A and B are shown apart, each in its own frame.
Chain A
Amino acid sequence: MTTVIMRTTARIVVPIVLIVAISLLIEGHNLPGGGFIAGVLTSTAFVIVYIAFGLDFLERGVLGRDVDPGKTPSRDRVVVAYRRLFTVGLAIAVGSGLVPLALDHPFLSQSYIVLEGVPLYHHLEIASALAFDLGVYCVVIGGLLTIISVVGAE
């Protein structure tokens, strides 16, 4: 599938997909979307990159690292990063649950504040649930991409 059509399409589609994913994450509290969908969508963008350019592209082409041709894919630095990502995601999710405990609320209680008069937005609402959603997002991306890159390499 590493054809020219595929590569050209991927170059255009992947940024769009990523932006849509991020907007789904941020808007998820009020419009359709949320951390899980955004995570899966982001993973899909990565999968498109994988299919169009191959598994090593991210390390070699994007990050500009040398890839040791003899090593097993599960030890790729990218895979290590994915693993770190879902660890970080879990930490964010649990951490966002622990903060209310410190403020004498039950575990995982959420709240929100409304900011008025913010430039550009005028009216901005920040929900603490966004932190939890960010955790969900990170775990989903990290988990799915770990699985896909490792299974794909097989």
Chain B
Amino acid sequence: MPPELSVVLAVVTAPFAVAGVTPLLIRSLGEKTGYAGAAVAAFCFALLGTQYGSEGTVELAWIPSLEVALRFYVDGWALLFALLASGIGALVFLYSPAYMHGESGLARYYAALLAFMGSIIGIALAADLIAIFLFWELTSLCSFVLIGFHTDDASSQYAARMAMLVTVGGGLFVLVGFLLLAFVAGDVVGPGTSAFDLAAMLNRPDEMQTALREAGLFVPVLGLLAVGAATKSAQVPLHFWLPNAMAAPTPVSAFLHSATMVKVGVYFVGRIRPLFASLEWVMLFATLGLATMTICALLAVAATDIKELLAYSTASHLGLMIAGFGFTSIVGAETGVFHLFNHALFKAALFLIAGIIAHETGTRRLDELGGLRHDLPVTAFLTAIVALSMGGIPPFSGFYSKELLFEATVEASHHHDLGPLDWLYPVVAVFGSIFTVLYSLRFLALFFGRQPDSLDHVHRPPVILLVSPAVLAALTAVVSIDPELAVRAIVQAGIDATAVDPGTHEMHVGLPTSYSPAVGMSAVAIGSGVLAYPFYDSIHRSIRSIPRTVPPIGANWWYDAIIERLTDDGAWLASRVHNGLLRTYATWTLTATCVLALAGFVATDAAIPTALAGLDVPIPAALVLSLAVVAGLAVVTADSHVAGILTLSILGFMIAIFYILASAPDLALTQLVVETLVLVIFLLVVEEIPEYYEVSLGRIARDAALSVLVGATAFITVLLTTDARPVGESAIARYYTEHAVPEGGGQNIVNVILVDFRSFDTLGELVVIAVAAISILTLIVMRARGDETRSDESSVAIEDAEGGSANEPRESHETRGESE
């Protein structure tokens, strides 16, 4: 069944449209806007539901002449991800009003959250590489706004910037990867299909892989896309932004940093898996995923804050999914898809529960919390389901998908020759899982044991806060009891889309009835975890002591070092290039222009004409030009500014006369008028310049060198361009002369070109003039108000302020220039 274009378009655009009108909604609904958001998300969810079971590409022609189209690809995997995003989105919106009660900046919050949801659905459904990239970066931008929601908090700003730098930076790697991919795909998908059409590439995975290998781009493209996926999905060593991103409000963490945004990388890895499945793929993603899973599980045990624990645990589980997709067997695909599904349910619930705990107790520190089951009994019950699922304890849902990972690690050697990795993969997977069990039990232990004395007034959470985690926990429970139900409903369709050879395998999961290596591994992991739990505190302390003794082992240390270095270098560079002195700007701009122009000539092998054939200058022109040269020399020797400017204008007027002689009356007119105007402006400005100032020898040398460089560049450019001029009348010149009167209705070809043939160019120039005027106005207005109370008046300046209110002493313009 092919998907319907109108439905797909509505799903992608609805969140953005509502995000646009959020300020109006806030005005009418106030804090209840969250429910409107929930309605939008539910609407998207329902619309996506109507497409259940459909598969295929739909497109909307956008710029047909350039073959640019909005292309969407719907299949089981895309639907699974989009349904998760909209479904969990609806629950998060439902949860938000109660959690964000009394906060300011709600318009920004809801608008960003909605736009974010739209972007995620966009990534899931887009079939065009460029569209995927755009949505990809949009999620990073929305995430930046949401992490930095508390704009007055330095740590929140730091975290937002970090997330932005890492994920947007990763997006740029993806962009380069996409461009290379499209470069290769052009030949494979054939003419008539856009080279950016991912769906077309996925239809020919083997040909794509062969073409990539022939071009020698297989490993580079794989690497670039892997970097992008790793930044987005917080894989080691780029995982450090995720725990910092916990500065965001908890609903944001639940939505972005557990269920959706961080899964974009995983989703994308699953999406391109059929294209790239190979030995390199296994080595890269299985290793990356298992390393992340283990390292982040260790770090989660070292966490002191409940959200930090959940953040590291998220990174660890993302590692699990990446590792699953890393194995090319069908079990690998099952691991990735099923765990993505399970994790979204239980981790979003856990974050929302963490939000309830923080909201009701006022603290998020692990060592200050305990025994909460008395005050929060319902929450405790929900936590038991989802935390045990996170730990992979049977019969909870996480167990099934983790069991699949173990099976995939054991099976890996059947498909590829992996050398020592053959036994290393299973060992690392089990080792990492032990810590998963540990921190899951630790989270659950918040509700048990003795209640610290500091926690004497824990409120019951409002029912509305409990609804969302309860729904998620209920779903987790359903999957735990009957995993086959989830498999049949949606997971199998996702597996078919991500499997290397789709349609050959039917997935079955359930509690094990007989011994297999995977069962043994599960038993070892869970057994060791439970046995080691009494020693949790000492394990926690010993892991924490490592980064303190060796700071460079932490990725965050590297981030700080690099950012600090870049900031310092940037400041140094700014003081050189951007120091507020006009002459510095002029030096840099002119030098750069000349060097770039000359480099361009060199790069294109432009040869300077040696023989200046046909150099016959009429005597009047020669006279006028030599007068201009004399004027030019006189400018340098003029003893006052005014004399210099007046002499300079002689040069300008001579050029105007030269234009007349060269029968270009329009140019001459323009030159004359502009020259006059410039002269006047110069005379106005010259009064502000000091009569005489000391100039060091070095600066004279610099200015002289610069002048020579500019002069030489202009000279060479003129030589080259005049030499390259075609002999006789070119086709375009003839076209203009022939068509000016019949088509433009004007005798003046210059004007007809300006306002008719090339009027789009002229329009652009008009915008430039307008922008220049606005910039100068803004600069001067801002300078005038520079030292005054800036914040008070900024609104006044923007609002035109006729009959303004500022009281600044005005200069006496009437007396200006009387000394002349």
Interface residues of chain A, those whose CB is within 8 Å of chain B, are 1-2, 24, 28-37, 40-41, 43-44, 47, 51, 54-56, 68-75, 77, 79-80, 83, 86-87, 89-90, 93-94, 97, 107-108, 110-112, 114, 125, 127, 129, 132-133, 135-136, 139-140, 142-144, 146-148, 150-154
Contacts and interface: CB of A to CB of B under 8 A. Distances in A.
B680 A47 contact: yes
Interface stretch (B312-320, B346-354, B745-753): B745-753
A141 to B, nearest CB: 10
Contacts of A72: 781, 784, 804, 806, 808, 810
Given A129-B752, A143-B772, A32 B669 contact: yes
B385 to A, nearest CB: 60
Contacts of B806: 70-72, 75
Contacts of A47: 677, 680
Interface stretch (B170-178, B275-283, B329-337, B811-819): B811-819
Given A47-B677, A132-B759, A152-B813, A29 B752 contact: yes
B684 A43 contact: no
A73 B783 CA distance: 13
Given A30-B748, A37-B669, A40-B673, A107 B776 contact: no
7 contacts: A2-B817, A29-B755, A74-B784, A142-B773, A146-B777, A152-B684, A153-B810
B771 to A, nearest CB: 9
Interface of B: 665-666, 669-670, 673-674, 676-677, 680-681, 684-685, 688, 744-748, 750-752, 754-756, 759-760, 762-763, 766-767, 769-770, 772-773, 776-777, 780-781, 784, 800-804, 806-811, 813-814, 816-818, 820
B810 A73 contact: yes
Contacts of B684: 148, 151-152
B748 A129 contact: no
Between A34, A43, A79, A93, the greatest number of chain B beta carbons within 10 A of the residue's beta carbon is seen for A34
Contact of B744 (A108, A112, A147, A150): A112
A31 B746 CA distance: 8
A150 B751 contact: no
Nearest to B741: A30
A132 B755 contact: yes
Contact of B759 (A77, A110, A144): A110
Between B666, B685, B801, the greatest number of chain A beta carbons within 10 A of the residue's beta carbon is seen for B666
A1 B818 contact: yes
A80 B802 contact: yes
Contacts of A43: 677
B759 A146 contact: no
Given A75-B804, A129-B755, A70 B818 contact: no
A54 B817 CA distance: 10
A131 B763 CA distance: 13
The 9 tightest CB contacts between A and B, nearest first, are: A112-B745, A29-B746, A75-B804, A32-B665, A143-B773, A30-B747, A129-B755, A143-B769, A34-B751
Given A32-B666, A129-B756, A44 B676 contact: yes
Given A31-B747, A111-B745, A147-B777, 17 more contacts: A1-B816, A28-B751, A31-B748, A33-B748, A35-B754, A35-B755, A54-B816, A71-B803, A74-B780, A74-B784, A75-B801, A77-B802, A110-B755, A125-B745, A133-B755, A136-B766, A153-B813
A137 to B, nearest CB: 10
Contacts of B809: 70
A90 B770 contact: yes
A87 to B, nearest CB: 8
Contacts of A89: 766, 770
B685 A151 contact: yes
Contacts, number: 192
Nearest to A40: B673
A1 B773 CA distance: 26
B800 A44 contact: no
Nearest to B674: A40
Q: By DSSP majority rule, is chain A's interface helix, strand, loop, or mixed?
A: helix
B820 A150 contact: no
Given A1-B817, A41-B673, A127-B744, A34 B750 contact: yes
A51 B747 contact: no
B748 A97 contact: no
Given A36-B754, A75-B802, A146-B776, A127 B759 contact: no
Contacts of A87: 770
A70 B810 CA distance: 6
A79 B780 CA distance: 13
Contacts of A133: 751, 755
A108 B767 contact: no
Given A29-B752, A70-B810, A86 B769 contact: yes
Contacts of A29: 744-748, 751-752, 755
Nearest to A68: B803
A117 to B, nearest CB: 18
B776 A151 contact: yes
A69 to B, nearest CB: 6
Given A74-B784, A153-B811, A136 B677 contact: no
Contacts of B762: 93, 132, 136
Contacts of B744: 29, 110, 112, 127, 129
B763 A127 contact: no
B681 A148 contact: yes
Contacts of B811: 153-154
A154 B816 CA distance: 11
Between B755, B772, B784, B801, the greatest number of chain A beta carbons within 10 A of the residue's beta carbon is seen for B755
A88 to B, nearest CB: 11
B748 A51 contact: no
A90 B813 contact: no
B810 A71 contact: yes
B689 to A, nearest CB: 13
Nearest to A1: B817
A7 B814 CA distance: 13
Contacts of A75: 801-804, 806
B748 A56 contact: no
Contacts of B767: 90
A71 B773 CA distance: 20
A75 B802 CA distance: 6
A59 B143 CA distance: 52
B755 A136 contact: yes
Contacts of A86: 769-770, 773
Contacts of A71: 803-804, 806-808, 810
A107 B760 CA distance: 8
A55 B240 CA distance: 60
Contact of B777 (A37, A90, A112, A150): A150
Contact of B745 (A79, A127, A136, A151): A127
Contacts of A51: 680, 817
A147 to B, nearest CB: 5
Contacts of A139: 766, 769-770
A34 B666 contact: yes
Nearest to A27: B748
A61 to B, nearest CB: 12
A95 B769 CA distance: 18
Contact of A37 (B666, B801, B807, B816): B666
Contacts of B760: 107-108
Given A33-B751, A34-B750, A55 B813 contact: yes
A139 B769 CA distance: 7
Contacts of B773: 83, 86, 142-144, 146-147
A107 B763 CA distance: 11
A10 B605 CA distance: 55
B175 to A, nearest CB: 30
Contacts of B746: 29-30, 112, 127, 129
A25 to B, nearest CB: 10
B476 to A, nearest CB: 56
A99 to B, nearest CB: 13
Contacts of B745: 29, 110-112, 114, 125, 127, 129
Contacts of A97: 759, 763
